[in-house]
Every structure is written in C-alpha cells, then in structure tokens.
Amino acid sequence: MRRCCPRAKTLGLLGMGSKVNDEAIKENDLSLLATLANQAGAALRNARLVSNLRESENEAREATTALRSAKEQLEQLDAVKTDFITIASHELRTPLAQVRGYTDIIEALNEQGMLDQEQLASMTTNLRKATDRMEELIRNMLDVSQIDVNAMDLRFAPASIEQVVRLALEPLTQDIRQRKQSLTARGLRGLPPIEADMQRMVQALQNVVLNAVKFTPDGGKIEITASLQNNPGTKRDEILLAVSDSGIGIDKKHQEIIFEKFVRAHDPSLHSTGKTKFMGAGPGLGLTIARGVIEGHGGRIWVESLGSDPEKLPGSTFYILLPVKPPEDATGVLNFEPTTTSMDRTELLKEVEKFRQQQQQVAGS
C-alpha cells in the first residue's frame, strides 16, 4: 500500500492483518489506514523535530559554555598580560629610578669635587642593591618562562632536607631578627636524603619562608616541621614539610590562584616593596617558581588557612610533599645556562683601579 508521495521519507511502518470477521479489506479501510498513518507520521515527525530541536539546543548551550570559558580564559590571559606589564614595569622602574638618582648625585658631587669616600661607598651599596633587585626580577621571570615550557633543568643528586632548610633560611635570618619574629624548625634530623636539585629546592623553600616573613607582622611566629611518611597509594616514602606562620592568612578563594604567576592575594598598593617588609609587594612569581620546582621533583605544594584577616591573624600553613626518590619522568630536561648580566667582580675592581689611576694622572698633570 503506497498512498503517499514517492519522495517522502519512511518514518515507520503500519501493519494490518486480516479482519476479525474475515471480511475483505476495502477501499474505505485503506483510506482509514492512510489517514491513521498520516496522523501517526505527522505526530512522529513532530516528535522527531522536537527531539532534534532539543539536541540542537543542547549543542548550542554546550557551544556557548565552551565559548564563555574560552572568553574567560582569554580575559584571564589578558589580565595576566596587563598585570605582567604593570608589575614588571613597576618592579623595574623603582630600582631603575634609584640607579638614575644615585648616579646623578655621584656625578653632581664629583663635578663639585665634594665626593668623599664614605658617601661614595654608601651610594655604591645602594646602587648594588637596586641592580640586584632588577637582576632578581629578570632571573625570576626567566625561571617562570622555563617552568611554562617545562624546560627547567633540574640536576638531581642526594640532598639532605636539613641542609636545604638551613641554606634556605640563612639569607633570611637577619631580616627575621630585625622583624623580631621567632623561627623554629623541628623534625629535620634523621630524615633520609632525598634526590633533588639542591639549589632549586633551596630557592623554592626560601620563596615560601620569605612570604611567611613578609605576611607575618613584627613579633610573629614562623614554624617549619618535617616528617617522613609512606604514601599508601604509591608505597613510596615521602617527606612532608610544613611552613606555618602567625600572619594575616589567605582567603579560601585565593588559595589556589596564588600559585599562578603575577598573582597577589593582598592589595600591595599601599605598602612598600621592601623584600621582607610587612606585606611588602613582590612581583607575584615566588610561589609560581616554588610550585614549578616542587612539581618538577614529582612533589606537591598547597596552602591551608582559615582566611585572611590582618587583625585576627589566622596564619597560613604551606605544605610541601616531596617523594624521597622522584619518579623517572621528573628528571629535568633542557640544559639552560643563565646569562649573567653582572660584571665579574675582579674585572670590576680592575676597572675601578684603572679609573683611579687615570684620575690621579689628570690631577697630577
């Protein structure tokens, strides 16, 4: 039975058996069937259209969500790029202005013949500090770009955690004393040596401790504890380092994002940029480097804090979990020789001596 146009698509089949009373099937039975078939076809077609429409709606919704997340990612990237420019230019401009200022003063005093040795020594010390800061920022930016492309060259060798902690703390002890903070370290003795890039590990831990110093008010407490654990999943021995402070703490919503580059959880605009001053602003690269180094060792870093409150001082604890033996794929890759921008010290002293001799000759003639 074909009662429809020949180009129509088959939507389904309607079967009809012999009649109950065994009568012959007549034309009006067929037209009743055709009407039924057409109505059922229309209903089916509509149902399919509705279901197709729903599918298209879902697809459109998914595409919108994907677009929205791509837009958010782009906005984030754009914000990071803007932050990068703002932070890098601010962080570079401050020491650059100091270099400019001191060289102008030295020049002016020198022209008037008023430059004494003591003044010169103090100004060159400040000049060195300013250039050190610029060098450090550039070094950190290079480190982050290596982490970004997974190209941090880690040189693994047996290292003692006790020594890592000692070396990380050494350059900070004077500042900790000045800030009247107390620092304790527990559980470091007797831990097995880990396979690690000592220099990088020291850098990572130092960044974490430096933040504890910065975000804890004068007179506060910083505690470092270490313990050996056995990971039940991997059955590997791991060392857990915890750096706790009695500082301003970190909001829950910032606890993950602070490990991203150029992110600062507290508004630093009101504060000084001194390296260890309370709430001193940094470029927001310290934790990015720490995470890059620790993950490069097959480890993990995270923070726990009840929130941020500069009055109640809930404090923060940064945890660093390191496998005693890093997994095979953790070993560093590319060789990267950092370019040194500072002149070799002996060369510099030679230049100074040459300059002094020339001055004497001019004075003598």
- Is residue 266 a contact residue for ligand ADP (CB under 6 A)? yes
- Is residue 179 a contact residue for ligand ADP (CB under 6 A)? no
Taking CB under 6 A as the criterion, which residues in 277-316 touch ligand ADP? 282-288, 316
- Is residue 271 a contact residue for ligand ADP (CB under 6 A)? no
Closer residue to ligand ADP, CB minimum distance, 197 or 245:
245
For 157, other C-beta atoms within 10 Å of its C-beta total 10
Distance of CA 74 to the CA centre of its chain: 17
Q: Supply the minimum distance, in Å, between the C-beta of residue 102 and ligand ADP.
A: 25
- Is residue 248 a contact residue for ligand ADP (CB under 6 A)? yes
Among 165, 226, 245, 324, binds ligand ADP (CB under 6 A): 245
DSSP string, 201-221: HHHHHHHHHHHHHHTS-TT-E
Taking CB under 6 A as the binding criterion, the range among 12-20, 77-85, 156-164, 245-253 that sits at the site for ligand ADP is 245-253
Q: Supply the minimum distance, in Å, between the C-beta of residue 92 and ligand ADP.
A: 14
Residue 161's alpha-carbon distances to 145, 170, 298, 330, in angstroms, are: 27, 14, 16, 18
Q: Supply the minimum distance, in Å, between the C-beta of residue 77 and ligand ADP.
A: 18
- Is residue 139 a contact residue for ligand ADP (CB under 6 A)? no
DSSP string, 320-336: EEEESS--GGGS--S--
Distance, in Å, from the CA atom of 226 to the CA atom of 188, rounded to the nearest integer, reads: 6
Among 98, 203, 211, 246, binds ligand ADP (CB under 6 A): 211
Among 90, 264, 275, 277, binds ligand ADP (CB under 6 A): 264
Contacts for 265 with CB less than 8 Å, ≥ 6 apart: 250, 251, 254, 257, 258, 308
Q: In the bound complex, which residue of the shown chain has the CB atom lying closest to ligand ADP? A: 282
Taking CB under 6 A as the criterion, which residues in 313-342 touch ligand ADP? 316
Is 288:147 a contact under the CB 8 Å cutoff? yes
For 143, other C-beta atoms within 10 Å of its C-beta total 20
Is 284:261 a contact under the CB 8 Å cutoff? yes
Closer residue to ligand ADP, CB minimum distance, 236 or 277:
277
What residues does 158 pair with on adjacent strands? 195
Closer residue to ligand ADP, CB minimum distance, 101 or 217:
217
Burial 33-68 (b: 16+ CB within 10 A, else e): beeebeeebeeeeeeeeeeeeeeeeeeeeeeeeeee
- Is residue 203 a contact residue for ligand ADP (CB under 6 A)? no
| Residue ranges binding ligand ADP (CB under 6 A) | 207, 211-212, 215, 245, 247-248, 250, 258, 263-266, 282-288, 316
